[in-house]
């Protein structure tokens, strides 16, 4: 079975001294592959290495030095990707040296001026059991999800985010220094104008994908679905997605001025998109699943978030993303697993790289994925 036209596929992966892989060179079929092995064999490490070429950091949150194989000085990852619609190929590499803490990234042999210019060229979406933290974890996990999705797929967002974080650090430093309110004014204006862009981008993304999210939750969970909501970290007179940048800027600026005494007392800024959150309200019971959802409901929500991430890649980059499924079916009850399988068959038409502890009938492509086996960092076919 060939992959869908317009899909970006990984055709070759080479690893050296990455996690438990001393040397590895793989050529992947366009449809994908199922990688079977026990826990600790390196299945997740392999998917992590592929996704590293999308964001140049571990999706598991591990620092780069922990990705270097024990006893080695540096790791190297190289991937070759092909656009199935045009036949065009791209090579992406990444390396990190433990001693100097230097990271080097190249696109087609050229090193970009900024790391941010290199992110988002592998067009991959990873589904992982650790995604449960997106629902049950603190708000910072959900903001991180939003920031990664929008940085990779919305032009300008990464720059806005970097400017906002820089301005926020400066404002907080002034607050802690005990300086006069007059010194805060220019930082307030800069924070409000840049923060408004983040608020609008996040709100519009949620508004655009809320119906698909509800539909995915209903399809996987077998119920009425879940309502995805955006909760901005500042007070607005109208839904954020319907506001203008000027309206959000003025509301943010007014809130900063109202709360300046509290901010000075505590040495931190209490209003702004760094306080944003997402909410997941069960359509049948109106229960907030962040706090009161069952394990199955929360896993359904986490998978639906990744499904709308894939939709975002598809819409923003005009191609089918690679789907990396890290032991996802093992974490679901049989009913949800079967419904997820049906959904993936319908919605995801790109290359699928799947990991599992044992060969299973619950896999995409009707069981037609080639089965590879992994043990102690070695792969056999």
Distances (CA, A) of 291 to 117, 249, 332: 37, 31, 19
Q: Extract the tokens encoding 256.
A: 């900063």
Q: What does DSSP assign to residue 42? A: S
Split at pLDDT 50, 70, 90, the class of 363 is: low
CATH code, 136-318:
1.20.1050.90
63 burial level (CB within 10 Å; 0-12, 13-18, 19+): exposed
DSSP H or E segment with residue 176:
helix 157-177
pLDDT at 232 over 70: yes
Better pLDDT: 367 or 218: 218
Count of other CB atoms within 10 angstroms of residue 242: 12
**Nearest to 27, CA basis, from 95, 82, 68:** 82
- CA dihedral of 337, 338, 342, 347, whole degrees rounded to 10: -10
pLDDT at residue 361 in the model: 59
88 burial level (CB within 10 Å; 0-12, 13-18, 19+): exposed
User: Which CB contacts under 8 angstroms, 24+ apart, belong to 56-64?
Assistant: 56/94, 56/103, 56/105, 56/115, 56/118, 56/119, 59/126, 59/128, 60/128, 60/130, 64/96, 64/101, 64/103
Let me know: does 298 contact 136? Beta carbons within 8 Å: yes
Domain boundaries, the chain: 1-123+321-381, 136-318
pLDDT at residue 366 in the model: 64
Q: What is the pLDDT of residues 38-61, one digit of tens each?
A: 989 999 999 999 999 999 999 999
3-class secondary structure per residue, 313-336: HHHHHCCECEEEEECCHHHCCHHH
- Beta-carbon contacts of 100 under 8 Å, excluding residues fewer than 6 positions away, are none
* Topology, domain 1-123+321-381: Rossmann fold (3.40.50)
Cα gap 259→58, rounded to integer Å:
37
Q: What is the pLDDT of residues 74-96, one digit of tens each?
A: 999 999 999 988 899 999 999 99
Share above pLDDT 90 across residues of the chain, in percent, rounded to a whole number: 81
Q: What is the pLDDT of residues 306-335, one digit of tens each?
A: 999 999 999 988 889 999 999 988 888 888
């Amino acid at each position: 079975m060939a992959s869908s036209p317009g899909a970006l596929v990984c055709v070759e992966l080479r690893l050296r001294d990455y996690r438990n892989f001393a040397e590895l060179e793989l050529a992947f079929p366009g449809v994908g592959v199922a990688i079977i092995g026990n826990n600790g064999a390196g299945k997740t490490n392999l998917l992590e290495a592929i996704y590293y070429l999308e964001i140049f950091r571990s999706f598991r949150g591990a620092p780069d030095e922990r990705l270097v194989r024990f006893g080695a000085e540096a790791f190297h990852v190289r991937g070759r990707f092909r656009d199935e619609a045009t036949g065009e190929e791209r090579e992406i590499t990444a390396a990190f040296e433990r001693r100097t803490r230097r990271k080097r990234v190249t696109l087609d042999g050229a090193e970009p001026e900024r790391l941010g210019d290199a992110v988002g060229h592998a067009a991959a979406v990873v589904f992982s059991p650790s995604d449960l933290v997106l629902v049950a974890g603190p708000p910072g996990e959900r903001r991180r999800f939003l920031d990664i999705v929008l940085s990779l797929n919305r032009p300008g967002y990464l720059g806005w985010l970097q400017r906002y974080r820089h301005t926020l650090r400066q404002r907080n430093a002034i607050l802690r220094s005990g300086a006069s309110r007059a010194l805060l004014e220019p930082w307030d204006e800069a924070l409000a104008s840049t923060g408004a862009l983040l608020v609008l981008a996040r709100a519009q993304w949620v508004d655009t994908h809320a119906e698909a999210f509800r539909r995915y939750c209903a399809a996987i969970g077998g119920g009425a679905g879940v309502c995805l909501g955006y909760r901005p970290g500042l007070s607005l007179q109208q839904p954020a997605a319907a506001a203008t940048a000027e309206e959000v800027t003025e509301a943010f600026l007014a809130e900063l001025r109202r709360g300046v005494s509290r901010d000075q007392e505590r040495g931190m800024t209490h209003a702004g998109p760094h306080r944003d959150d997402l909410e997941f309200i069960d359509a049948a019971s109106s229960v907030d699943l962040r706090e009161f959802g069952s394990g199955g409901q929360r896993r359904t929500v986490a998978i639906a978030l990744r499904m709308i991430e894939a939709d975002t890649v598809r819409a923003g980059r005009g191609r089918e993303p690679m789907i990396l499924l890290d032991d996802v079916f093992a974490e679901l009850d049989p009913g949800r697993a079967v419904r997820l399988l049906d959904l993936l068959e319908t919605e995801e038409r790109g290359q699928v790289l799947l990991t599992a502890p044992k060969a299973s009938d619950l896999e995409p492509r009707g069981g037609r994925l080639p089965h590879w086996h992994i043990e102690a960092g070695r792969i056999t076919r």
